[in-house]
Structure formats: C-alpha cells, structure tokens
C-alpha cells in the first residue's frame, strides 16, 4: 500500500526560495553551455551526451551514499516517461531551437513553463486547482508569448527564427506535463536522488537510438576543447546537480511553485549570452519577458498580496 502523498506547501519557505534561486542559476547556465556546444555537436548527440554523462555522475553519487535503486517495473516505466517529458523531448527542442535563436530568447520562451504547468495541474491534480488569479496570470503570460512570437509571423512561410521559437515553446509544454507527472514519485516512495538518476537513465535509453539514426554520432569529428568543456558543464552542473535540487523542491513545494524557477532563469541566461556570446535582445523581446514575468508574479500572488497589505489604509 502506498503512503499518503506529502502535503504541498502553497507558500515556499526561505530555504525553498534559496534552492530555487540556485536552481535558476544552474539552468540559466544550461542555455549558455548549450549555445556554445551546439556549434560543433548536433542537437540529438548533445542531448545524449548531456543525459548519459549526468546518469553516470548520479550513479556514482548513489553508490557513494549507499542509496538502493527501486526494482519495480512500474517505477522504471515511470522513469522512461519522465525521461521523455523532462529531458529527451524538451532538450532536443531547445538545442535545435538554439541553432536559430539566441540563448537569452530561448530562456525567455522557456519561462512560459509555469503557464502550461498550471493548466496541466488544474486538470490532473486535486490540490493545484486553477483559480481566478492564476487564470489571470496565465492570460497575461500568454500575451507576452504573443508579443515574442508575433513579429516572426510577419514573413511568408515559417522562418528559422519562428521555427526556433516554436520549438522552445514546445519544450515548455513538455516541461509542464513533466512537472505534474513527476509528483507521482513521492507517492511511490522514490527518493529525489533516485528519480534524478532514473529519468536520466530513461532519457539516455531513448536518445541513444535517436542520435544514432539522425546524427550517426560515431562518425562525427571530435569536437574542440571548448565544446567538450561546455558539454561537461552542461551535464555535471546544469543537469546532474540541478535535478537533485529540482526533485527535492518538487516533493515539498509542488509543481506550480517549482515551475516559478523559469521566471529567474532568463536573468542569468541573458547575462551570460550578452557577456560571452555578444547576444542582444530587442525591446519587443524584453517587453514580452516583462509580460511573462508579470503573469508569473500574478500567479504567485505573494508580491501582490504584500503590496495590497501595504496600500490598504490602517483601520482604527
């Protein structure tokens, strides 16, 4: 018999927020590392390298800590689904998208993940229902998405930039489903570290034949030192370590709260892209990011509640 699922806190603690900020820096760096590596490593091969190296690193951590892996077939089946939704599909879409758009813009589009997470969670969970405030936040956020993608719709046909933007939007949708699907591991009694390893192993099994068929990775020339270094950082810091934090937060703070990390991710992604890649975003793209941010702040509600309390006249 499964244990009752742990209660989800609607308001995150200071420790939760500290881990959320750290996670945003790690995932913000992933857009930078991917943009560097994808210049020499095809997207599917890059995804395979990222998840396979991360799986090996997590296996070593599990062994050192003496954590036993679950043996039930249903758990490993869930690992495969999680690996598809949270790694194989969105990583491939984002890496391919970044061959057409800047890393900062990719991170902004990725910031729509909470919008899709809310819609999925409201349909498939009992404790993360769609409220009026969250619906308003979703609508504001989607207005920002329209502002981002709208200019690319002006030309004839699907341009490379539009295709890249849509690919990153598809990744955000996949992440939204993954955030809600991942809650089942707490009910199964699977530790966050085991989930991180399991999904990386599952996504490695998915990507191995895909990268072989599409890229023929064994025939590719050896990438340069910079690309290999970017791949190593992508796997170790932005994947293995990051997902340990992700599943720990998911179990305690809930899918919607954890998805707010994407509000913070663009900050580090844009800074790294501007400093080291010479990327510049347009005013319209910053406007879209501001609208998405406003939507996420509305969804979270805490800042609005604080402002309301400050502005409300004191009662005698």
Report how far residue 115's alpha carbon sits from residue 135's, in angstroms, rounded to the nearest whole number.
9
Give residue-wise pLDDT tens across range 82-116: 999 999 999 999 999 999 999 999 999 998 888 89
Contact (Cβ atoms closer than 8 angstroms) between residue 135 and residue 194:
no
Contact (Cβ atoms closer than 8 angstroms) between residue 71 and residue 131:
no
Give residue-wise pLDDT tens across range 60-75: 999 998 988 889 999 9
Give residue-wise pLDDT tens across range 241-292: 998 888 788 777 876 677 678 778 888 899 899 999 999 888 888 888 899 8
Report how far residue 191's alpha carbon sits from residue 132's, in angstroms, rounded to the nearest whole number.
34
Give residue-wise pLDDT tens across range 19-68: 888 998 999 999 999 999 999 999 999 999 999 999 999 999 999 989 88
Report how far residue 292's alpha carbon sits from residue 147's, in angstroms, rounded to the nearest whole number.
10
> Nearest to residue 260, comparing CAs of 268, 269, 251, 250?
250
Q: What are the residue ranges spanned by the domains of the chain? A: 14-152+160-305
Contact (Cβ atoms closer than 8 angstroms) between residue 24 and residue 264:
yes
Report how far residue 248's alpha carbon sits from residue 257's, in angstroms, rounded to the nearest whole number.
12
Report how far residue 294's alpha carbon sits from residue 278's, in angstroms, rounded to the nearest whole number.
27
> Nearest to residue 41, comparing CAs of 200, 217, 182, 302?
217
């Amino acid at each position: 018999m499964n244990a009752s699922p742990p209660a989800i806190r609607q308001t995150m603690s200071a420790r939760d927020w500290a881990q959320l900020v750290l996670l945003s820096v790690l995932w913000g760096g992933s857009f930078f590392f991917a943009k560097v590596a994808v210049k020499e490593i095809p997207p599917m091969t890059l995804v395979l390298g990222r998840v396979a190296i991360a799986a090996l690193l997590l296996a070593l951590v599990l062994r050192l800590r003496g954590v036993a892996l679950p043996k039930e077939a249903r758990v490993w089946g869930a690992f495969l689904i999680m690996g598809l939704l949270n790694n194989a599909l969105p990583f491939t879409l984002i890496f391919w998208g970044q061959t057409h758009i800047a890393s900062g813009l990719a991170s902004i589009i990725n910031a729509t993940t909470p919008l899709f997470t809310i819609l999925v969670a409201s349909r498939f969970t009992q404790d993360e229902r769609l409220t009026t405030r969250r619906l308003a936040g979703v609508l504001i956020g989607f207005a920002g998405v329209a502002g981002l993608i709208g200019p690319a719709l002006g030309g004839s046909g699907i341009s490379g930039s539009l295709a890249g933007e849509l690919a990153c939007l598809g990744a955000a949708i996949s992440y939204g489903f993954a955030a809600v699907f991942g809650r089942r591991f707490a009910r199964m009694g699977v530790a966050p570290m085991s989930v991180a390893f399991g999904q990386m192993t599952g996504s490695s099994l998915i990507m191995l034949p895909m990268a072989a068929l599409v890229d023929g990775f064994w025939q590719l020339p050896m990438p340069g030192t910079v690309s290999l270094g970017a791949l190593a950082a992508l796997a170790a810091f932005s994947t293995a370590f990051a997902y340990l934090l992700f599943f720990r937060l998911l179990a305690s703070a809930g899918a919607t709260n954890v998805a707010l990390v994407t509000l913070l991710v663009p900050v580090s992604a844009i800074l790294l892209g501007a400093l080291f890649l010479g990327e510049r975003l347009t005013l319209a793209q910053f406007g879209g990011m501001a609208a998405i941010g406003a939507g996420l702040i509305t969804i979270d509600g805490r800042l609005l509640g604080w402002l309301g309390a400050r502005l409300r006249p004191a009662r005698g």
